A and B are shown apart, each in its own frame.
Chain A
């Protein structure tokens, strides 16, 4: 092990959560003085891997080496003592305290009687920031500075408190603008020159290519590989992140060709220049009866933002939306349900299931909401509806009275689907309906989408898995950087779409 030129080595890390294999045999090698990107779609296992490294989670198998010696990280605090520090996406500093207090909290210089030496503290903090080439008044409250500066302060704290040699940046740029990002990159390069190893987690591929030396790609909890950034093309990287398999492809495309015949010209939904500043640039969109419209794009490309506009969660600040030729005036989920629009949201736990309620209550929730407070569905009717969809969607539950939190992820997803099917929607928007569910359930949901289209409904189908989008959709919209880039018919190859997703330098 003496030959190890790596500062951190993670070998064969396994982690199992109840019902999910989060990581299976993942390796990660970090050299001193390198910026190492950790990429993968949601659920790929990036954050679990980081949690294992920082002691938040214990690995079920595998070992971690620091400077060639095996270590067992007991807690995040222990990780800091070992020189492994993390700066999280949401900054966990105190905006009401001064910059200096934030940097040195818990480590304040004290005099003989234990009171804090403010001058020494401020000088110390100033120095710490100087290392990052930042000159600000450290006696000001942190909250008076921009998010980028706050991020730097968080980094300064990480370096100062633990004299970190490994710095993990978990999506640090998601709330920064271009200028601030550039500022952050400068700091990162400076640290790199000082020999600090940086693990950089981001969804923005531009940034991966801007600062990193090597890239480790994860997919579905497994290691795809580690590559030199300079030699991996953007297209290859996306292919590796998204992955492809050829299962069931034939059957699906057969169903799709069948359903293609059913598309008639009626425009069910039409968006003209619809947009919301900061969320999605103005776009045009047409949705026909009997059609499945795929939306492809990486996470953060504006996929979810589009669904929120179409479903009325957010109110657009430009353009117009019409349903069945009728202009939309009221933007709210309730109004959308009334117009026959339904949305299975991306975040199943936070915006989908109501976990303490039963399967029956979850299924009738949207239907009841559209009926209002007083037209209450009687219990027999509720059971009738619930049992019908439990049978139709093959939901595995002991009974309709089971709290939905006791169901597996895939079955929870089906319950949400049932909730929307019960409202008999004309336009069904599915944002990542197959995330985190097993292959069998995935295929069932894809088939269901196609059969709904056959009945003359229109579907919007969003997924990070490109092959899935290709298989189920008749037409594909590509998003990049919160903008609609282009539209394809599904006959085009995966390659063309990936190029569109990747953008310029493909």
Chain B
């Protein structure tokens, strides 16, 4: 019996999901000990509420971003513009539903519907489709700059990071548009037993998994990330792979923008997705994907995003003032990265090895 257990230990430690799970478990353990009632779940009208559900719900935008960011980082790049793309997406969606700029010229009989929770200028499916197309094009723009113009990823995506919020403001003519349309608000703040945004995360995760693991795309992304030249010599079109990764990342940012704007019911070009690109990058790093590119795990990135969100939620529940939370997040990130270091790994290996020897 014993050797088998030791063997499983070893396998578990080598597994990609092990460390993200350990990090998450440590945070939840902290909650269990220091915050009474943290794990309490309530049901209201058949829906689940509680801190754990909050972590999932508030983490959903970063989870969405992390999915796209994982592919980009796996190719050896990075996308700093996802937060700005979220803002663009929010502006596009808002103006399609509530074209106040055009609305000024609308006849008064239509104007009175502007605040009606059932009024939308364009139907919901159009809002979602057009928004996602715009966001996907934003991603494609990044991909073109990185893969074909060969600008360094950080610089290339910095362009849209800076310009994006300006574009978002241009779209709405500088106005923060209120969103009243209820069906749209359901995307980010609705519940179907669990928060509806989680189903969106699951859907995008499924899509990304199918895209990367049921086709050769995942293998090619990893190959390009590990050694672009060898991949080129093997006949892999490195440029197309990079273009695809950035395009998909833009798409994910678009979905995240829809969720975020429907949650706060406004298109706030200055604040939607602000600093989210950094959270998404950290989520991917916590998920164990190297910034240099190579092997990636979408699930591990999702858990990475949850580690980030669990920290924030726990701190709030613990009563840490909002402005100190960022500093504590920083400490958690340092601890997690230390946990990943080769020293700690070999320490754990040494810790498990004698067991094998003894049995």
Contacts and interface: CB of A to CB of B under 8 A. Distances in A.
Interface in A352-368: 352-357, 361, 365-366, 368
B226 A354 contact: yes
A78 to B, nearest CB: 29
B222 A357 contact: yes
B229 A350 contact: yes
Interface residue tally on A, bucketed by range: 20 to 34
Given A354-B231, A376-B214, A334 B219 contact: no
Interface centre among A313, A354, A369 (most CB of B within 10 A): A354
A368 B294 contact: no
A377 B216 CA distance: 8
A374 B214 CA distance: 8
A59 interface: no
B230 A373 contact: no
A361 B230 contact: no
Interface stretch (B2-10, B125-133, B232-240): B232-240
Contacts, number: 76
Interface in B207-234: 214-217, 219-220, 222-223, 226-227, 229-234
B235 A356 contact: no
B235 A373 contact: no
Interface in A35-90: none
A419 to B, nearest CB: 7
A122 to B, nearest CB: 35
Interface string B246-288: 0000000000000000000000000000000000000000000
B226 A356 contact: yes
A343 B230 CA distance: 11
Interface centre among B217, B227, B231, B235 (most CB of A within 10 A): B235
A376 B211 CA distance: 11
Nearest to B213: A376
B14 to A, nearest CB: 11
B57 interface: no
A354 B235 contact: no
B262 to A, nearest CB: 33
Contacts of B214: 376
A294 interface: no
B229 A351 contact: yes
Contacts of B295: 356
B201 to A, nearest CB: 25
A365 B215 contact: no
Contact of A361 (B217, B219, B229, B233): B219
A366 B234 contact: yes
A334 B216 contact: no
Interface residues of B, number: 21
A357 B226 contact: yes
Nearest to A361: B219
A364 to B, nearest CB: 8
A356 B226 CA distance: 7
Contacts of A329: none
A353 B231 CA distance: 9
Nearest to A345: B233
B222 to A, nearest CB: 6
Interface in A404-443: 419
B235 A369 contact: yes
A129 B237 CA distance: 48
Given A354-B227, A365-B223, A371 B216 contact: yes
Given A333-B234, A343-B233, A369-B235, A355 B215 contact: no
A353 B223 contact: no
Contacts of B236: 334, 365, 369
Contact of A365 (B234, B237, B294): B234
A369 B220 CA distance: 8
A289 interface: no
A370 B236 CA distance: 8
Contacts of A355: 226-227
Nearest to B219: A361
Contacts of A366: 234-235
A334 B226 contact: no
Nearest to B294: A356
A333 B226 contact: no
A125 interface: no
B356 to A, nearest CB: 18
Contact of A353 (B217, B230, B232): B230
Contacts of A370: 235
A19 interface: no
B231 A368 contact: no
A383 to B, nearest CB: 14
Nearest to A308: B233
A370 B233 CA distance: 12
Interface string A304-337: 0000000101000000000000000000111011
Contacts of B231: 354, 365
Interface centre among A352, A368, A373, A376 (most CB of B within 10 A): A373
A368 B230 contact: no
Contacts of A337: 235
A318 B280 CA distance: 49
A334 B231 CA distance: 10
B6 to A, nearest CB: 19
A453 B231 CA distance: 27
21 contacts: A311-B233, A334-B236, A337-B235, A350-B227, A351-B229, A353-B230, A354-B230, A355-B227, A356-B226, A357-B219, A365-B223, A365-B236, A369-B216, A373-B215, A373-B216, A373-B217, A373-B220, A374-B215, A375-B216, A376-B214, A376-B215
Given A368-B216, A370-B235, A373-B220, 6 more contacts: A311-B233, A352-B233, A356-B222, A365-B234, A368-B219, A376-B215
Nearest first, the 10 A-B pairs at minimum CB distance are A369-B235, A334-B235, A366-B234, A337-B235, A356-B226, A365-B234, A354-B227, A333-B235, A369-B236, A376-B216
